[in-house]
């Protein structure tokens, strides 16, 4: 019973995500998906895997400069290592991306709130750049521009809440009136202060060019997955559009790594762009397998190295606590 209580949230969310993926397979016709997967161009596989690894290395490099601004004195190598190590839980748990913040906080002996703010800033900038990369395809297709507008307005509102004191006080007061969220108000206020501090630093914008490179690498990897299964059916800019929509959809779903929501978004967008349902589902599933595989295998290897080099705590307790990291970080 104790084991169930510790892992219930992870099991439920993982089950929902896997159920959604299974539903996509059934609807799209398993036989059709199998035929498309059987035509996968294996010559592109090493390039795709290399690009996915480069994606995480760029994420770690960009994060290093944010960590330095937050007072975490880690080498570039250790920052990159901790970033990759955190991908193990990110692939399995909601809010798992904060795991790398816990690792860095422990390794550098810095307050968790300051490190968590670096993750918030990095993901805000990355999402903004990814959405912007979708604009050329939307303009060329003369449709769907409202998706970008709504997303941009939403992100602008988030930045405004973080940086405009009266607006933050209003939201802070509303959160304090909600029973389930009221206990989060101290952490929210701390996160806001640290995030604002980072956003006001000139080098935060300057080093965001690395996030731009990560967007290009991520889109290229996804585009090559599509080329390996359905050659010449999707252009690079269209791949950027599909990836942006799936990324936002997966983030909003709060399911581990967006499982289910991410795939549904990919399938829906590819079908809308003219790809067959079986091919679209095959692309979504192959993308999931490759991304999760690189994150899990690479992350586990990085974690084992980081644990020995930096003396990190055990991984098993974090797996059961990952969804509640913002609440429990001070006791980690």
Nearest Cα neighbor of 104 from 96, 93, 112 is 112
Structural domain contains residue 138: yes
Q: Per-residue confidence at 305, pLDDT binned at 50, 70, 90?
A: very high
Q: What is the pLDDT of residue 301?
A: 92
Non-local CB neighbours of 89 within 8 Å, separated by 6+ positions: 96, 99, 315, 318, 319, 322
Per-residue DSSP letters for 15-71?
HHHHHHHHHHHHHH-HHHHHHHHHT--GGGHHHHHHHHHHHHHHHHHHHHHHHHHTT
> Which spans in the chain are helix H?
2-28, 30-38, 45-69, 76-85, 87-90, 99-108, 112-141, 145-163, 165-176, 179-182, 185-199, 202-206, 209-229, 236-253, 261-272, 277-310, 315-321, 325-328
Q: Which two tokens stand for residue 152?
A: 């941009």
Q: Per-residue confidence at 217, pLDDT binned at 50, 70, 90?
A: very high
Which residues constitute the domain of residue 55? 16-320
* SS3 at position 183: coil
Q: What is the pLDDT of residue 328?
A: 35
Q: Pick from 158-172, 301-315, 317-331 the range whose average pLDDT is largest.
A: 301-315
Structural domain contains residue 330: no
Structural domain contains residue 26: yes
How many domains would you assign to the chain?
A: 1
Structural domain contains residue 328: no
Stretch 222-249: mean pLDDT: 90
Q: What confidence tens digit (pLDDT) does each residue in 152-166 have?
A: 676 666 666 555 656
Q: Which two tokens stand for residue 174?
A: 């509303």
Stretch 244-267: mean pLDDT: 70
Structural domain contains residue 325: no
Question: What's the CA angle centered on 131, arms 96 and 129, to 5 degrees?
Answer: 80
Distances (CA, A) of 20 to 13, 16, 57, 285, 308: 11, 6, 30, 12, 38
Structural domain contains residue 141: yes
Q: Which two tokens stand for residue 210?
A: 């690395």
Question: What's the CA angle centered on 56, arms 55 and 59, to 5 degrees?
Answer: 90
Structural domain contains residue 135: yes
Q: Per-residue confidence at 258, pLDDT binned at 50, 70, 90?
A: low
Q: What is the pLDDT of residue 259?
A: 59
Q: Which two tokens stand for residue 287?
A: 């993308």
Q: Is the pTM of this model over 0.85?
A: no
Structural domain contains residue 11: no
């Amino acid at each position: 019973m104790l084991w169930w209580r510790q892992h219930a949230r992870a099991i439920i969310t993982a089950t929902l995500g896997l159920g959604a993926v299974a539903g996509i397979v059934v609807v799209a016709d398993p036989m059709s998906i199998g035929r498309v997967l059987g035509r996968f161009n294996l010559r592109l596989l090493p390039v795709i895997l290399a690009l996915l690894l480069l994606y995480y290395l760029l994420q770690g490099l960009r994060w290093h400069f944010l960590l330095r601004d937050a007072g975490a004195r880690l080498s570039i190598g250790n920052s990159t290592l901790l970033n990759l190590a955190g991908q193990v839980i990110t692939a399995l748990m909601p809010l798992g991306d904060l795991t790398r913040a816990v690792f860095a906080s422990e390794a550098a002996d810095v307050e968790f709130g300051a490190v968590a703010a670096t993750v918030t800033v990095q993901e805000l900038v990355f999402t903004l750049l990814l959405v912007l990369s979708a604009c050329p395809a939307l303009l060329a297709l003369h449709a769907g521009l409202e998706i970008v507008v709504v997303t941009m307005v939403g992100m602008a509102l988030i930045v405004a809440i973080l940086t405009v004191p009266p607006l933050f006080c209003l939201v802070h007061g509303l959160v304090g009136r909600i029973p389930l969220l009221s206990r989060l108000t101290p952490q929210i206020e701390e996160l806001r202060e640290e995030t604002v501090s980072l956003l006001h630093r000139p080098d935060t914008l300057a080093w965001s060019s690395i996030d731009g490179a990560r967007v290009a690498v991520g889109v290229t990897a996804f585009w090559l997955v599509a080329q390996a299964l359905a050659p010449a059916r999707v252009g690079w800019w269209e791949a950027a559009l599909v990836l942006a929509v799936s990324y936002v959809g997966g983030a909003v779903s709060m399911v581990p790594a967006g499982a289910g929501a991410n795939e549904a978004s990919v399938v829906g967008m590819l079908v809308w762009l003219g790809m067959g349902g079986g091919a679209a589902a095959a692309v979504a599933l192959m993308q999931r397998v490759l991304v999760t595989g690189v994150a899990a295998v690479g992350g586990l290897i990085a974690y084992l190295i980081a644990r020995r080099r930096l003396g990190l705590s055990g991984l098993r307790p974090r797996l059961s606590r990952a969804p509640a990291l913002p609440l429990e970080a001070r006791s980690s």
